[in-house]
Structure 1
């Protein structure tokens, strides 16, 4: 059976957080790993939170915020290293965009994920970020 046939994209549940936390560790997103309880609360309070499962195992996740009509901001998109280049990230993005088809997708990308988004037809734009206390 191919991964695409076994793939299930479903709403995030609190019981998924250990798998999401492991994906953050795998990606070395130290801020999200260090602030585990804050990250867990962020998942619980997000308007968009889905996971990708293969054979009952969470192999990807997407968390976002939206007004439902104009903007859909993707906060995090992660796919396990073992499942990359299998279309899971693209399927996660398509699933959430289909939930809010009028909204434009907004996201930040790292230098390593830039090529993924460009291949999906996203265009770069300029933005800013500030963390309190810095």
Structure 2
């Protein structure tokens, strides 16, 4: 398995992956996804045997704060360390950056806890309408 930066040629495959794994309501078109990725400072894919099996993106200033926006691994490839590799690739090892995320999906809190994240009592949210 290889983790690498997302390229323009990955957009169709990433869109299919996200659409079939619970993110269709947040995506829009392939062009919309391209704009999301362009506006993100970090976007990675996980590739196995030439197939994109995972995707993650983050927004960060690279100095103090970061937000993990999407971490998705195709169902047949879960529990193989792919999500872990994607998150590690995004957040890196800089201890000075505080990373936040929304862990509302089933199993997400447990997954991210294994990567050093903990529940916060200080976060606030203004949800989309």
- Asked if Structure 1 and Structure 2 have the same fold, meaning a TM-score greater than 0.5 normalized by the shorter chain, the answer is yes
Whether the 8 Å CA contact 2:57–2:90 is kept in 1: the answer is no
Alignment length (residue pairs): 125
* Cross-structure match for 1:12: 6
* Cross-structure match for 1:31: 25
Q: Is 1:129 aligned to residue 123 of structure 2?
A: no
Unaligned 5+ residue runs, structure 2?
none
Give the RMSD, CA atoms, in angstroms.
1.7
Alignment TM-score, normalising by the size of structure 2: 0.86
Q: Whose helix proportion is higher, 1 or 2?
A: 1
Within 1, Cα distance between the matches of 2:37 and 2:80?
A: 25
Q: Is 1:73 aligned to residue 70 of structure 2?
A: no
* Cross-structure match for 1:3: none
Shift of 1:21: 0.9
Q: How does 1:113-124 map to 2 (within 5 A)?
A: 113-124=108-119
Q: What's the CA shift string for 1:32-60, capped at 9, x where partnerless?
A: 24x12322211122110111111121110
Q: Secondary structure at the match of 2:92?
A: helix
